[in-house]
Amino acid sequence: MEVNVITRIRDHRIRARGARFYVRPAVEADLDAVIRLIDEAGHWLKTSKNTDQWNRPWPDRDSRDKRVYDGISGGLTWVVMDGATMAATVTIATVGDTALWTDEAQAFDAVYVHRLVIDRRYAGTGLGAELIDWAGEQGRREQPAATSIRIDVWTTNEGLHAYYRDQGFLPCGVADTKDDRPANALFEKQLPDSPPATPRLTTRPQPSLLLARVHAAAAASASGQSHGGAGSRAWLPTASPLLGLVMFAWWYDQFPL
């Protein structure tokens, strides 16, 4: 029976120390997948938690989708990848919404987190809590003077309020807005002095994806389809066996068993 060595190594690593997720900036091609995550979360919240969060896009679907697009195109949105699967997304800003956060509050630099969504298949794994910590630290890299992380939460979703309190957030009241927006409950927690541990999240591409791309490029080259056809001088296919060993050595160095 043929043994997939790469899969065995990956599964052993996951059992030994938990899966690692690749966190990268979202690109416009991710728009549909990000919106799908939000819609699926909204459906689950409605059917399982009896809340209308995200099930009723505000003020309408087109406006909601435009906000998601603006977050992606503005370089504020990140996606968490488990191989080829989008496991989560989060949007990070260093300026708060003036309709929610007062001038007095914004006199203190902070990290603002929006649209933190976890695929339900990863529920209960602690990915959400780890992503909150990662988002706070990523925001502090962009805003070094930030001392806290802030989030606006769906006003009627008491279960989500409890979740954020469990994550160390303190309620800051409910914003009195004039536009009937549904996420007015404000929460904040102090950023730790030292970067928190987020061992499963990395901004380095997963080796399994890199290897897949190497093998795909080699196969395409062998059939004369790689980057310009049979005459291509692309470096990948010309040393594919050696490159595979190099990639495996790099993987082992970065992700020791």
**Could you tell me the residue ranges of all domains in the chain?**
1-18+206-257, 21-202
In this prediction, residue 113 carries a pLDDT of: 98
| pLDDT value at 202 more than 50 | yes
Q: Determine the pLDDT at residue 48.
A: 76
Q: Which residue has the tokens 């990000």?
A: 34
DSSP 54: T
Of 187, 115, 185, 117, the C-alpha closest to 155 is 185
pLDDT value, residue 75? 97
CATH code, 21-202 = 3.40.630.30
Three state DSSP letters for 157-178: CHHHHHHHHHCCCEEEEECCCC
Residues 126-185: tens digit of each pLDDT: 999 999 999 999 999 999 999 999 999 999 899 999 999 999 999 999 998 888 888 999
Question: Mean pLDDT in the chain?
Answer: 81
CB 26 within 8 A of CB 69: no
Residue 96 has pLDDT above 60, yes or no: yes
Alpha helices by DSSP H, the chain = 5-17, 31-49, 61-73, 103-106, 127-142, 158-166, 207-222, 235-238, 240-254
Q: Between 122 and 235, name the one with better pLDDT.
A: 122
Could you read off the pLDDT of 128-137 as tens digits, one per residue? Answer: 999 999 999 9
